[in-house]
Structure 1
Amino acid sequence: MIRLLLISVPALLVSFAAEAAVPAGMPVTAGLSPLWGLPFAGMLLSIALFPLLASSFWHHHYGKVALFWALCFLVPYAATFGMGLAFHDLVHAALLEYIPFIVLLFALFTISGGLLVVGNIHGSPATNTALLATGTLLASVIGTTGASMLLIRPLLRANDNRRYNVHTVVFFIFLVSNIGGSLTPLGDPPLFLGYLKGVEFFWTSVHLGPQTLVLAVALLGIFFMLDTAMFRKEGQPRRPDPTPDTRRIGMIGLANVPLLIGVIAAILMSGMWKPGISFDVFGTQVELQNLVRDGIILALAFVSLRVTSPEIRRGNDFDWEPIREVAKLFAGIFSTIIPVIAILRAGRDGAAAPLVDLVTDPSGAPIDSMYFWMTGLLSGVLDNAPTYLVFFNLAGGDAQHLMVQATSTLAAISGGAVFMGALTYVGNAPNFMVLAIAKSRGVNMPSFFGYILWSGAILIPLFMLLTLLFFHL
């Protein structure tokens, strides 16, 4: 049945491709119909609904579901525009977006999985708040993925005797997996892309620092009050603590620390070293510095596998399922998102023209509040890195102009892309990895829509406050 669907449905979608095709004489990226976004919508709905309605099927076949939706886009696209264009666009997305993305996640997942916090941290409200604050600070130093993978397991162990622990993971995603990565290009992929475009390294530290501080203080305060209420609600006695108090609190696997530093150095190198050498791979220009960066990062990951003892990884309950799930699902997302990004990049010349008109006033001046919300809301459901680039280019694409003459607009774009990645599980890759690890440890995490209720109730009012404080209405 699954094989039949993989073949038949993409073939049937060729029939709507004629209606969704580009009018004669119009560039492909300027004329794509919104119908081309249906496979992407199907991919997101599958991630949202299958774990809720058919969890066993999803657990065993999520890779096939991702392949199915990728074919639902690629087969009609190739039939309409030719195999050459379809292959070029797929290779372009793979080489410049998906492969560097998954290489970095794989390395951070592997290396941070070799660092083990030992000893029994007891998850009191004060301790949990301190862990979240530490992760928030680390996220801009070792990235949201590195900080998330380093601290999610200690947080889960600290609360493994708590009856109510879902909220700790939800706030962890808010703070460590997203908002904390807003201060440097190392923190989150959109800011790294801005760095490559010419935005100064510490620009976001200065111009997103106040917004990040407001969000972090507010969320840590809300969490402390909520966790205190939950802690008291549990009463005594609590469940037996499965983590014994047999060792002093500390960290082992420290050989992985220089490897994490090496990943950071490789990322910095690719932004500063410009040899001017590139290679043409089926029409896609791949720059030498990016190949060297990805090669170094992969090598560091494999060094981690060699130098880290199996006992440390067992102590972390380390397994490959979270990164495997992210790799397969994001392969489907990066494939089906191709036409969606193309429509957005077409700006006023494409189907997204009404959306573009929302971010500028009649005189053509940018509306910062709309840049913040449009970049943010789209980043919550699309990949936030290309979404950042779309609005960066829409605002002029000149880093020097944006940093000096349009400071609040660039801050709105940057903040929207990073902060609002916390709105859904698919808004940022660490969200999904934290979800998978928490579920594997028995935490009854909210469904896709259940998580949106959490994020909507807590984050949307705070984002509205940021709009009032920092961005002009």
Structure 2
Amino acid sequence: MLTKLAGAALLFALFPEAAFAAGDIGGATMGVAWALPFAGMLLSIALGPILFPHFWELNYGKFAAFWAVLVVVPLALFRGFDPALGALLHTGLLEYVPFIILLFALFTIAGGILITGNLHGTPATNTVLLAIGTLMASFVGTTGASIIMIRPVLRANDNRRFNVHVVVFFIFLVSNIGGSLTPLGDPPLFLGFLRGVSFFWTTTHLLPETLFAVVVLLALFYALDSWFFRKEEDYPPLRDPTPDRAIKLFGKVNILLLGGVILAILMSASWKPGVAFTIHGIAVEWQNLARDLILLALAGLSLTLTPKPVRAGNEFSWGPIKEVAKLFAGIFACIIPVLAMLQAGRNGAFAPLVALVSNPDGSANNVAYFWLTGGLSSFLDNAPTYLVFFELAGGNAQALMTTGALTLTAISAGAVFMGANTYIGNAPNFMVYAIAKDRKVAMPSFFGYMLWSGAILIPLFVLQTLIFFR
């Protein structure tokens, strides 16, 4: 095993004699081969659930560990133990741990909110349900909103002959685009927040693009659903397995706990005591530590205060968050050399990519940022994709929020919006697909879904490009 690892590590060795400071792994001297584990990690996530779903379900943690080892071992061998440890601690303490704690808190708290009862799935009702889920996504996350809303939407339409389009638009709006207005909405935006992007910067700068997309999609959905609704009049009515009954909300205490999540994050952005504790040169600021402890406490309160039947009604399990934690541990390890190379800019191995997103005068090509971020986010996980292009744009949050505001908007919109292009672009997509399929909805195949997104979303994104990013 050690022989194989050493042999693989030799692929990455460029300057083994170089000395680097703790945390500095010398991105300017790295070759493209250092990015191969990151590419392998993302391709495994994209293709594993499709090509060998059962094997993937049993072994996804081993895949993540394999690709992470192919980065960590060469870093220690050829860049030095201290630089490698510093880079790992920086990524782990300042990005991975806060990222997973937020997802854990949102997943736990949202899983304690249960909506029961049933409505009749008319075009107007369905449009309102999608609008509610879309708005909710920016405050409980796209995963949380999908967990809360997908079953009420499916129950409302389980006596409809034509209901596939309802789930497709649900994925477009609730599982993706709706999460674009706060760092709570979608993982890429929280990573931006951890890098220094202000909480409400996202709200103000993505509001026009989000509002445009939501209004267009809801209007299109209403027209399409009305057409299908009228078409069903030509068929005998189906038996409704869940007759209409009053809507009831359980687990209301979790709504207050979600408010606590928002307050904790706002606290960490505004309270700056100037105190930190240091581990191997990595400073963890007290406000961020306090935020993470509060989030864990809120999740604990949710588990304590929410009756077990409420979580059972949501078919709540720890499986999804365990998968996210393991896979993102691999992603964050594998992305370390990639970010270091991107920080080197035109002096690094990714100079051609820098040129691709730059105009001849050196300014940012925002159209390229939007489509490249979005195109990769369609097939690879949108959180690390966001980080790559955030770093490619300079990685300085203050500069990107001001002089580079349109560039950061393009990156953010591309990562969040275009995650809807495929089932694997954003984590909730496949979850919604699986739940709908289990409820006997004839969901389209992987490529069948792309026909829907290609026909509806791509023209929408072209319009957004012409209106907002040129």
Tell me which amino acid in the other structure corresponds to 1:30. Answer: A
1:267 deviation in Å? 0.9
Cα drift, residue 315 of structure 1: 1.7
> Match for residue 366 of structure 1?
364
Structure 2 CA distance for aligned equivalents of residues 214 and 334 of structure 1? 33
Supply the AA of the counterpart residue of 2:13.
Answer: A
For normalisation by structure 1, the TM-score amounts to 0.85
Aligned to 2:168: 170
Aligned to 2:65: 67
Q: 1:95 to 1:149 in 2, by over 3 A?
A: farther
Q: Which residue identity is paired with 1:367?
A: N
Residue number in structure 1 paired with 2:419: 421
Question: For residue 130 of structure 2, what is the amino acid of its counterpart?
Answer: L
Q: 1:42 to 1:401 in 2, by over 3 A?
A: closer
> 1:317 Cα shift?
1.9
Answer whether contact 1:379 1:427 (CA < 8 A) is retained: yes
Which shows bigger deviation, 255-264 or 321-330? 321-330
Residue 375 in structure 1 maps to residue 367 in structure 2: no
Q: Distance in 1 between matches of 2:249 and 2:70?
A: 47
Indicate the residue corresponding to 1:4 in structure 2: none
Q: 101-110 or 146-155: which moved more?
A: 146-155
Q: Equivalents in 2 of 1:91, 1:464: separation in Å? A: 41
Deviations along 1:271-307, one digit per CA (max 9) or x if unpaired, are 1111112222234222211111111111111111111
Q: Which amino acid aligns with 1:134?
A: I
Aligned to 2:331: 333
- CA spacing shift, 1:193–1:57, aligned 2, 3 Å: closer
What aligned pairs does 1:430-449 form with structure 2 within 5 A after superposition? 430-431=428-429, 433-435=431-433, 437-438=435-436
Q: Does 1:243 align with 2:245?
A: no
Is 1:345 aligned to 2:337, yes or no?
Answer: no
* Paired residue total: 463
Tell me the residue number matched to 1:21.
13
| Deviates most, 133-142 or 158-167 | 158-167
Per-residue deviation at 1:465?
1.2
1:284-323 aligned at under 5 Å gives the runs 284-323=282-321
Query: Contact 1:48–1:448 at 8 Å: present in 2 too?
Result: no
Q: Distance in 2 between matches of 1:56 and 1:224?
A: 38
Residue 56 of structure 2 corresponds to 58
Q: Which amino acid aligns with 2:49?
A: P
Q: Does the 8 A contact of 1:49 with 1:448 survive in 2? A: no
Contact preservation (8 Å) 2:382, 2:415: yes
Instruction: Tell me the SS of whatever aligns to 1:318.
Output: coil
Paired residue for 1:12? Answer: 4
Give the letter for the 2:242 counterpart.
Answer: T
Instruction: Give the SS at the match of 2:121.
Output: coil
Provide closer, same or farther for how the CA distance between residues 389 and 45 of structure 1 changes in structure 2, counting only shifts above 3 A.
Answer: closer
Output the CA distance in 2 between the equivalents of 1:77 and 1:62.
23
Query: 1:182 corresponds to which residue?
Result: 180
**Structure 2 contact 188–412 (Cα < 8 Å) conserved:** yes
Distance apart, 1:76 and its partner CA: 3.7
What TM-score comes out, normalization by structure 2 length? Answer: 0.85
SS state at 2:118 partner = coil
**Residue by residue, what CA displacement relative to the aligned partner does 1:325-364 show, whole Å, maximum 9, x if unpaired?**
2222223322323333333232212111111112222222
Instruction: For 2:80 and 2:347, locate their aligned partners in 1 and report how far apart those are by CA, in whole Å.
Output: 23
2:276 corresponds to which residue? 278
Partner amino acid, structure 1, of 2:344: A
Change (3 A) 1:318 1:97: same
Verify: 1:213 aligned to 2:211, yes or no.
yes
Q: Which residue identity does 2:44 align to in structure 1?
A: S
Contact 1:263 1:300 in 2 (8 A): yes
Partner Cα distance (1:38, 1:360) in 2:
24
Distance 1:34 1:329 in 2: 22
CA distance, structure 2, for counterparts of residue 12 and residue 231 of structure 1: 60
Greater CA drift, 260-269 or 165-174: 165-174
1:105, CA displacement in angstroms? 1.4
1:88 maps to a residue whose letter is G
Contact 1:70 1:336 in 2 (8 A): yes
| SS of residue in 1 equivalent to 2:246 | coil
**Contiguous gaps of at least 5 residues in structure 2:** none
Give the alignment of 1:148-159 within 5 angstroms. 148-159=146-157
Shift of 1:378: 4.2
Deviation at 1:383, TM superposition (A): 5.4
Q: Name the counterpart of 2:461.
A: 463
- Equivalents in 1 of 2:393, 2:95: separation in Å? 22
Q: Which amino acid aligns with 2:356?
A: L
**Deviations 1:132-181, CA, capped at 9 Å, x for gaps:** 11121222333334323322232233334556544433322321232222
Aligned to 2:100: 102
1: CA distance, partners of 2:37 / 2:7: 14
Q: Classify 1:67/1:351 alpha carbon distance in 2 versus 1 (closer, same or farther; 3 Å).
A: same
Shift of 1:117: 0.9
Contact 1:185 1:192 in 2 (8 A): yes
Amino acid aligned to 1:326: V
Pair 59,415 (structure 1): closer, same or farther in 2 beyond 3 Å:
closer
Q: Is the 8 A contact 2:37 2:71 kept in 1?
A: yes
Answer whether contact 2:148 2:314 (CA < 8 A) is retained: no
CA contact (8 A) 2:115 2:248 kept: yes
Query: 30-39 or 185-194: which moved more?
Result: 185-194
CA contact (8 A) 2:110 2:140 kept: no
Provide the identity percentage. Answer: 63
Over the residues paired in the alignment, what is the CA RMSD in angstroms? Answer: 3.2
How many Å separate the matches in 2 of 1:71 and 1:114?
36
The match for 2:41 is: 43
Q: Secondary structure at the match of 2:283?
A: strand
Following superposition, the deviation at residue 86 of structure 1 comes to 3.6
How far apart in 2 are the matches of 1:237 and 1:90? 62
